[in-house]
Amino acid sequence: MRRARHGLLLYRKERFGNCQIRVVYKPSHAKANSGVFVRIDDGVLQTAGVKTFPVQRNKDGKFSKPMLQKIREASENQQGPWYAVHHGYEVQICDDADPFHRTGAIYSLSKADTLPAAAADGWRTMVITLGGSIISVDVDGKRVTEFEPAAKTCPPSASGPNLCANPNDRQWATSDCKITIRETWSTSRKSAFAP
């Protein structure tokens, strides 16, 4: 993996097609926010290692208006981790959020069902299954999301048939990321999803 700015980790050893990605994680608190980007185009490889500005917060942990403007401009110009936001899908990690932004949701595009109760030690297991254009997400053994980008249930888009089909229309967002990752793995699923 190679660390890009703003906490984006980029796995470059191989390209994933149809597969399962398992992430075992433990949030520091219910609103801890992170995610796993999938189905990002190859342009992301050029963004890794590109120097971007440091994100700074004030003493209250908030962004100043000038910092928010810099973040908005970086998003609009698809700089740094914003490239992944505009050219892929984020499987959200944030247990205490609305259905479009909680763990297992495809951020802002597809709701996640109610999550099962976390284990006493706080560790959770998320399995992301990529099969053709469908993205399925299971959290602690429960299916919480089944996402099809071409579905008519996706939010409307200003520049296409729906927001899911045109990732460039997505909104930008910022938040703290305090997630501990204990384990990740992936397994090819070619035989299961071959046409």
Over 131-153, what HEC string results? ECCEEEEEECCEEEEEECCCCCC
Tokens of 162: 């729906």
User: Tens digits of per-residue pLDDT, 54-76?
Assistant: 777 788 777 788 888 887 787 77
Give the span between the Cα atoms of 34 and 27, in whole angstroms. Answer: 9
DSSP class of residue 187? Answer: E
**Could you give the C-alpha distances from 58 to 64, 66, 67, 142, 176, in angstroms and in order?**
7, 11, 10, 39, 13
Blockwise average pLDDT, block size 10, the chain, 195 residues: 51 79 87 84 71 76 83 76 76 91 91 94 92 93 92 56 39 39 57 35
Distances (CA, A) of 135 to 18, 59, 106, 145: 10, 39, 9, 8
Q: 2, 12 in Cβ contact below 8 A?
A: yes
Q: List CB contacts of 15: < 8 A, sequence separation 6 or more.
A: none
**Torsion angle in degrees (nearest 10) through CA of 31, 37, 43, 49:** 50
Instruction: Specify the pTM.
Output: 0.72
pLDDT (tens digit, 9 = 90+) per residue, 70-108?
A: 877 877 777 766 677 777 888 999 999 999 989 999 988
Q: Which domains does the chain have, with CATH numbers?
A: 2-193 (2.60.120)
Contact 21, 186 (CB under 8 A): yes
